[in-house]
Structure 1
């Protein structure tokens, strides 16, 4: 299988002037069938979670379904992310990574359009979404990362083969082939700083029948659309119900919208509409329909081993079920064209970091909660371990200012080490190693007896206590100067993100909003 992005020369340019099938929007020269499969996998992933969480078919049937579920290791890569601190009620957020694998290793997947030539190749993770369920279980957010986003993929070991893959800098969908879903999880954690509790992967076998079982989902276009030469979608302007083959066409459509990112928006609209439909229907009180949906869903799922039973998935889904649609927000990671390759994208600096910060700090993506819901969910707690005298605290300072779009700031570790020495930390030294990439400045320590020392270092520089993390990846107190502190010796004041304050380029859509309509690119109107 070729991993080199290609541009479809017969596709319309997007608003930036690049062709819809390529450019920075992740288009690649694959057949329409493959594009359809990615869309179906995306739908199936969220649908499977909803199905398993809303059903009530009975414990015995769940026992039968257990045998359908495949399991794998939660993390197979090098990652330093830490769990978000509990709120005042002792609750923590729940993060689930959903991956649509590009597998062609079954007759069913090949029959649905997969290339026989690629059968047996390691699958790619072409659809990747993080579901964030708030600590109080009152709101949820979904963040998608475009498949052609260039990121740092950490060192990973495939749990099935034992093969080790060295760290690399490539597009994120390749992470699945470099150690399985656990490597993709580690990649996400390093990129976002968000601890991910579980992963789920799904292929698309059986998804068409599941989509049919819903009975149709409403979508909307502002003009008559006919995606000639693409998905074949043809429908009149306005709100229409799509199901079966037409639902597949909607999910596949790219040319008629103008870009891959706009296709993602159409898919988000479909997913929100699907969830509203499922909540409105009584499908989950109809045992026959539920059994068929659950059978197809569990046969398609592979999950991280700690949630590898239907009972655990059911309990997980019941937590998701409690979120009202107006507290669900679907977004795409803010991104910009990759300066190294126009076919790829990279995170959009401060805007992407803001999204990650909201996830880390458990700030709702919507503003529809009560005032108490919108308050900060975490409290900074001082360590019970007393700090040593400043001049007795050994501190190593690392330069973590390199980003995907900017090179490292030369001399940052040395400058901050000198600032610490000036504040009385006589044993502060700069790490001479090459610069690394860390979005947010962090103070790391390896054991409980050094927690007080680490907090003391952070306090002296104005770094919040929430950025002090325990990890066995360091041997002593280690300050990593991140991309959020590229200049100056005083840590920049960070304004706490507020509920609903999502960057405009995250393209947020609220789950209860049925008004969005897709504009049709002019050549595909009729």
Structure 2
């Protein structure tokens, strides 16, 4: 449409009519109609310009936000975890790993985090949380792992430098320096057996930007706190506040999230972080931040400038869609927890997963069982009692089966002879080609049956059924060349696979220190040396 209304110029007859030199057409009524038509055409022209202009500005702003986002490879390490199968309604849970980096590789981060000696060093993952959104999107669980927890870190390749790092056993925060966030994700998958869909990472400066955009979050301490260096304890976050409830933002929010000594330990720090996150979620819901355009734009600007994300969610639309899914969960159906741990027998300054309690947490995540009692109906039927779905390719006495001993764990020594015991059991059951692998002991929390290719899936299921191992523990893996029974720490004795009790909604171990999202009465206790009165 032309911006100049050429079609509305007067005809000679019209001109003559107006000046008295010709006959008027149609009289006063026709003139009025023409004027209305001209006005409508002008309105349509102006409206089209406005729409195109604002659409262009909107597009440019959208591109600006997209360009803000930093992206990285989803996984950069060896991992065996498989994506969760849909439930009966075709829904799948969503798992997101949130990483807090201690990077000092910018002037802003050095100013906020101190320790100039670490400038140029690869960052460590000081905060790590798995956010699990149930398949029906009606509940959510968050599980933290303290940074000094000793775990197996797989072989990883740094996607930015190409450097390759061999598998090692060390504290989990080092995983970020051995292949980026993708290595941390692979480490979590191997530890938990949970497939993780995405990761998000934020540094010190990013936390401050997000805290400012949110507009403050209420936290509480039972005593006044000043987290500062003491004679024999260097460091400290600098957090200084009087007792009671207070709204914090910006740098003070970062100090709260980093405080460790004043909250007794890394476990206390995780609890303080959970309190902050719950309060933040409540604040966002109360402020209608997801429907208030102005607030949403401020949050979008801060988030896209603050976050680095795995590449498959590296757009504003995908991040917004994730936010909308999280928004649907009521606060009383959100549960914050920390993986149960015990003191590391090799180093009292470190932790290791607490056997059965830690495994129960991961089992609930894998089976999509809600952490709160509101989810009495499991959103995903577990497959522990499922039947085999594939017919075997070979007869029992023709199947090649290898048995490995993986009864070692972070807290338990391997049980000598387990591979031999179970291979003998298979021989008695008619699997004439079963053999024991006598190489070095492995470590697996749960017994699994692995197979390398689709043609051997039925064979693997047949072996699992004969041993009483659930079908959910039959996994495809490129780490094996044939059907392989990996006897885990859950089967350390006997020849009958121990019956696995199905976790129930809300049955979270006490050692996980669970906090419900609607609990606004939480208040942190302050370690006595760091108590302070104004």
Q: TM-score, normalised by structure 2?
A: 0.83
Of residues 450, 455, 458, the one that matches 2:456 is 450
Matched positions, count: 469
Task: Quote how far apart the aligned CAs of 1:493 are.
Answer: 0.7
Unaligned stretches of 5+ residues in structure 2 = 1-56, 230-235
Kindly provide the CA deviation profile for residues 30-80 of structure 1, in whole angstroms up to 9, marking residues without a partner as x.
Answer: xxxxxxxxxxxxxxxxxxxxxxxxxxx977633321111121111111111
The reply to whether residue 294 of structure 1 matches residue 290 of structure 2 is no
The reply to whether residue 376 of structure 1 matches residue 381 of structure 2 is yes
1:212 alignment partner in structure 2: 212
Q: Which has the higher contact order (CA 8 A, sep 6+)?
A: 1
Task: Quote how far apart the aligned CAs of 1:525 are.
Answer: 5.5
State the alpha-carbon separation in 1 of the partners of residues 111 and 237 from structure 2.
18
- Root mean square deviation, CA, Å: 2.1
Kindly provide the CA deviation profile for residues 73-110 of structure 1, in whole angstroms up to 9, marking residues without a partner as x.
Answer: 11111111112222111222111111112212222212
Of residues 508, 511, 519, the one that matches 1:505 is 511
Task: For 1:390-469, list aligned pairs within 5 A.
Answer: 390-469=396-475
Kindly provide the CA deviation profile for residues 155-200 of structure 1, in whole angstroms up to 9, marking residues without a partner as x.
Answer: 1111122111111111111111111111111111111111111111
Distance change >3 Å, CA 244–CA 205, structure 1 → 2: closer
Which structure has the larger Rg over C-alpha atoms? Answer: 2
Q: Give secondary structure in 1 for the equivalent of 2:377.
A: helix
Distance change >3 Å, CA 247–CA 162, structure 1 → 2: closer
Distance change >3 Å, CA 214–CA 72, structure 1 → 2: closer
Q: Give secondary structure in 1 for the equivalent of 2:472.
A: helix
State the alpha-carbon separation in 2 of the partners of residues 333 and 282 from structure 1.
32
Kindly provide the CA deviation profile for residues 386-419 of structure 1, in whole angstroms up to 9, marking residues without a partner as x.
Answer: 4532111111111111111122111111110001
State the alpha-carbon separation in 2 of the partners of residues 109 and 525 from structure 1.
27
The reply to whether residue 275 of structure 1 matches residue 268 of structure 2 is no
State the alpha-carbon separation in 1 of the partners of residues 117 and 107 from structure 2.
13
Stretch moving more, 252-261 or 89-98: 252-261
Native 8 Å contact 2:418 2:487 kept in 1: yes
Q: Give secondary structure in 2 for the equivalent of 1:302.
A: strand
State the alpha-carbon separation in 2 of the partners of residues 168 and 474 from structure 1.
20
Distance change >3 Å, CA 443–CA 377, structure 1 → 2: closer
1:46 alignment partner in structure 2: none
Task: For 1:123-138, list aligned pairs within 5 A.
Answer: 123-138=123-138
The reply to whether residue 203 of structure 1 matches residue 203 of structure 2 is yes
Kindly provide the CA deviation profile for residues 325-359 of structure 1, in whole angstroms up to 9, marking residues without a partner as x.
Answer: 11111111100111101111000111111111111
Task: Quote how far apart the aligned CAs of 1:516 are.
Answer: 1.8
1:141 alignment partner in structure 2: 141
State the alpha-carbon separation in 1 of the partners of residues 251 and 272 from structure 2.
16
2:8 alignment partner in structure 1: none
Distance change >3 Å, CA 179–CA 193, structure 1 → 2: same
Native 8 Å contact 2:209 2:306 kept in 1: no
1:474 alignment partner in structure 2: 480
State the alpha-carbon separation in 1 of the partners of residues 149 and 285 from structure 2.
33
2:183 alignment partner in structure 1: 183
Native 8 Å contact 1:335 1:347 kept in 2: yes
Stretch moving more, 223-232 or 208-217: 223-232
Stretch moving more, 387-396 or 330-339: 387-396
The reply to whether residue 342 of structure 1 matches residue 329 of structure 2 is no
1:323 alignment partner in structure 2: 329
State the alpha-carbon separation in 2 of the partners of residues 397 and 387 from structure 1.
19
Task: Quote how far apart the aligned CAs of 1:468 are.
Answer: 0.6
1:103 alignment partner in structure 2: 103
State the alpha-carbon separation in 2 of the partners of residues 430 and 518 from structure 1.
52
Native 8 Å contact 2:242 2:532 kept in 1: no
Q: Give secondary structure in 1 for the equivalent of 2:68.
A: coil
Distance change >3 Å, CA 156–CA 245, structure 1 → 2: closer
Distance change >3 Å, CA 246–CA 178, structure 1 → 2: closer
Q: Give secondary structure in 1 for the equivalent of 2:113.
A: coil
State the alpha-carbon separation in 2 of the partners of residues 297 and 513 from structure 1.
26
State the alpha-carbon separation in 2 of the partners of residues 375 and 294 from structure 1.
33
1:53 alignment partner in structure 2: none
Native 8 Å contact 1:398 1:481 kept in 2: yes
Native 8 Å contact 1:363 1:377 kept in 2: no
Q: Give secondary structure in 2 for the equivalent of 1:362.
A: coil
Task: For 1:24-39, list aligned pairs within 5 A.
Answer: none
Distance change >3 Å, CA 426–CA 182, structure 1 → 2: same
Distance change >3 Å, CA 182–CA 226, structure 1 → 2: closer
Native 8 Å contact 1:276 1:512 kept in 2: yes
Q: Give secondary structure in 1 for the equivalent of 2:352.
A: strand
Native 8 Å contact 2:204 2:254 kept in 1: no
Native 8 Å contact 2:92 2:135 kept in 1: yes
Kindly provide the CA deviation profile for residues 438-480 of structure 1, in whole angstroms up to 9, marking residues without a partner as x.
Answer: 1110011122221111111111111011111112221111110
Kindly provide the CA deviation profile for residues 311-337 of structure 1, in whole angstroms up to 9, marking residues without a partner as x.
Answer: 122222222221111111111110011
Task: Quote how far apart the aligned CAs of 1:237 are.
Answer: 4.2
State the alpha-carbon separation in 2 of the partners of residues 153 and 120 from structure 1.
23
Kindly provide the CA deviation profile for residues 8-34 of structure 1, in whole angstroms up to 9, marking residues without a partner as x.
Answer: xxxxxxxxxxxxxxxxxxxxxxxxxxx
State the alpha-carbon separation in 2 of the partners of residues 235 and 119 from structure 1.
29
The reply to whether residue 76 of structure 1 matches residue 82 of structure 2 is no
Task: For 1:476-491, list aligned pairs within 5 A.
Answer: 476-491=482-497
